[in-house]
Amino acid sequence: MKSTWIPLAVTLAIQSMVAMALLTLPVMAPEAASSLGVSPALVGVYVAIVYGGAMFASLAAGTAVKRWGAIRVSQLGLLLCAFGLALCAVSSVVAIAIGALLIGLGYGPITPASSHLLAKTTAPERMSLVFSVKQTGVPLGGVFAGAIVPGAALMLGWQGALLVAAAANLLCAAIAQPLCRSLDADRDSAQPLVLGSLSQPIRLVLKHPALRMLAACSFVFSMVQLSLTTYLVTYLHDALAYTLIAAGAVLSVAQVGGIAGRVLWGWVADRYMGARNMLAALAALMAVSAIAAAMFSADMPPLLIMAVLVVFGATAIGWNGVYLAEVARQAPAGLASVATGGTLAITFLGVVLGPPVFGAMVELSGTYRISFALLAVPTLACCVLLLLGRKSERLSAAS
């Protein structure tokens, strides 16, 4: 038990810190934009730069983990996030763009590194739950950003708040240092770091049908997740006349649903359904929730709207842990970090493309309702794909 929970605790803490780093500037976007004399809408460009860097870093993570070890690579990610946050504190749009890239380069390798560590220390029958608990670090980092950053900005200014978040990342890297000797014992210092290795994760994913299917589904799921979290407040404000404070509170409810869902789905997958069936069920629930959200009206009871969004958040935000556990299961022995990096590059592509595509549909249709309803189409396709893939695997095993 000890060998499982110590790696889980440290990877959860690291995931929370880098997630907070990513969200620190967006939480203060209006204040920072006002100080710099730019539009707050540029935060979308900031997020795109971050995830562009994360895509590149996730591809390099597998080789880096094999050479330096999962904890050392995670420490490097924390340091990059800290330096990126410090650069963002410079009153320059160029410096912020470079800082965003560094934060992305720090964020990208964290999940592949933790997958490598947890895959070798977790019993197969607990993998979905353990990976899901670790992935609660993403919304937990959002909670930290929402709870700590505004107060720090009030006391220290928006630049001071960025430096506080940077210090938190540095502290986390220092706390992880004593674990390097034991948890990075499988590192191979002879592992070469070459540009050609960047294509290895993608080649691995494309070579294995199960990984290929999981990556495709993660692309869709991440589009749904980011579309929900990016546009929900605006949808509730513009279409349902919610105040910004009320709409923000409803988004928080959906995020809490995501935290609960990440743990619950992992437990259900391990105990009853299996990861593939669980992901298919989540895809179906995402589709139903998206259609229900498209049907919201100003005269609907707020409790009903929140109930729908709890389910939407629990599925659209809560799928990651079960997915990552299944990727680790399907990866060839010793290649969990490489497989995770390859699939995450495709996941991050969905993150980058999802909100702009959703927004373009809003511009074309003139309403958020059609965009939400259209999210149901690819998610239902994923549900069918996952079920058919599971059926073909059973037939192959039987033959």
Task: Return the pLDDT at 77.
Answer: 95
Task: Return the pLDDT at 397.
Answer: 43
Q: Give helix then strand counts, H and E, for the chain.
A: 18, 0
Query: What are the pLDDT digits (tens) for 22-50?
Result: 888 887 777 788 888 887 656 767 878 88
Largest CA distance in the chain: 67
Residue 189 pLDDT exceeds 90: no
Task: Return the pLDDT at 372.
Answer: 94
Report the b/e string of 25-60 with b at 16+ CB within 10 A: bbbbbebbbeeeeeeeebbbebbbbbbbbbbbbbbb
Task: Return the pLDDT at 395.
Answer: 44
Task: Return the pLDDT at 216.
Answer: 93
What are the angstrom distances between the C-alpha of 365 and each of 1, 48, 352, 375? 53, 24, 21, 14
Summarize the confidence of residues 236-261 as an average pLDDT.
Answer: 82
Query: What are the pLDDT digits (tens) for 146-157?
Result: 778 878 888 898
Task: Return the pLDDT at 283.
Answer: 96
Residue 2 pLDDT exceeds 60: no
Residue 113 pLDDT exceeds 80: yes
Better pLDDT: 94 or 154: 94
Task: Return the pLDDT at 329.
Answer: 86
Residue 85 pLDDT exceeds 90: yes
Query: What are the pLDDT digits (tens) for 276-329?
Result: 999 999 999 999 999 999 999 989 999 999 999 999 999 999 898 899 889 988
Residue 4 pLDDT exceeds 50: yes
What are the angstrom distances between the C-alpha of 20 and each of 7, 36, 78, 190, 345? 20, 22, 11, 34, 20
What average pLDDT does the chain have?
A: 85
